[in-house]
Amino acid sequence: MKPTLLALLPAAVVAAATFTGCSTFSSTKPSMSIEDIMNEGFKGKGSMAARIGDNTASQADKMRMVYLTQQLALNKAPKGDAADWELKTAKLNRAAIAIQDKLPDSLEVWRAAVDCKACHSVHKPD
């Protein structure tokens, strides 16, 4: 299945904002909660994030992960430093885009960006 231009538009917007130095997610409100994003994409050994890390995810999974990581970045940090949240979520989103676009070394970049403990230890509410 070929991705449509409309499906690739969110990734292109993020990439353009990232490369121009704009604050990528500052003016849009999230349509998904952090809890919903975690449940859909990151929870469990068979999660979409795990399949991406194991290199067994479908292209549809990879495209969905770009959307999920965009949504994650649109949410406010539930706890901790907002700037750190922005850095971590932007890194995760860039890694998802790299995976989707099949860039060289994207799997290693993804695995480094998906550091649950590093984020949860400072941003997850008690």
The one-character DSSP state at 45 is T
Residue 13: inside a domain: no
> Which residue did the predictor score with more confidence, 60 or 14?
60
Enter the pTM of the model: 0.77
Residue 20: inside a domain: no
pLDDT at 28: 84
- Over residues 72-98, the pLDDT tens digits come to 999 999 999 999 999 999 999 999 999
Residue 24: inside a domain: no
Token pair 């430093």 is at which residue?
Answer: 81
CA 81 to chain CA centroid, Å, is 19
In one letter, which amino acid is 40?
E
Residue 67: inside a domain: yes
SS3 104: coil
Q: 115 with 25: CB under 8 angstroms?
A: no
Residue 61: inside a domain: yes
What value does the mean pLDDT take over residues 52-66?
97
Residue 108: inside a domain: yes
Judged against a pLDDT cut of 70, whether residue 13 lies above it is answered with no
Q: Which among 18, 6, 26, 37 has a CA at the least distance from the CA of 98?
A: 18
The one-character DSSP state at 33 is -
**Total domains in the fold of the chain:** 1
Residue 4: inside a domain: no
Average pLDDT, the chain: 86
Written as six digits, the tokens of 67 are 């959307």
Give the domain extent around 54: 32-123
What value does the mean pLDDT take over residues 36-57?
97
